[in-house]
Amino acid sequence: MLVYAKVINEQTKQCDIALGNDDKYYESIGMTKQEVEQCYDGSYYLKGYAPQKPEPTTKEKVVALERQYQMNRWQREIILADNSGASEYTKTKAQEIENLAKELR
């Protein structure tokens, strides 16, 4: 994306960008037309310098799965108990979360 931008961090190449069409003003405050890209967190960097979103931690994965399947630890324990009556799908999902959660304990 070609916009008026000014690098605010020389190491990371993070930029402030201008939205609008007041070219004279942007040039007067030191901005130049540059290719930029938006980072996963909403900030802007010179094209090719935007950091990639980090891989989620095991804890973040467990929390996301617990929310997705609405299944916290005590519910998983009941579901995974012998003769729980839960469906195979539910048991599989509970076991998936439990396997990840074991790494945290």
14, 27, 42: which is closest to 4 by C-alpha? 27
Give which of 65, 94, 64 is closest to 79, Cα–Cα.
94
Contact 28, 36 (CB under 8 A): no
The C-alpha atoms of residue 96 and residue 105 are separated, in whole angstroms, by: 15
Alpha helices in 5-87 (DSSP H): 23-28, 58-69, 73-80
pTM, rounded to two decimals = 0.63
Per-residue pLDDT at 44: 98
pLDDT per residue as tens digits for the range 29-71 = 999 999 999 999 999 999 999 999 999 999 999 999 999 999 9
pLDDT for 105 beyond 90: no
Three-class secondary structure of residue 25 per DSSP: helix
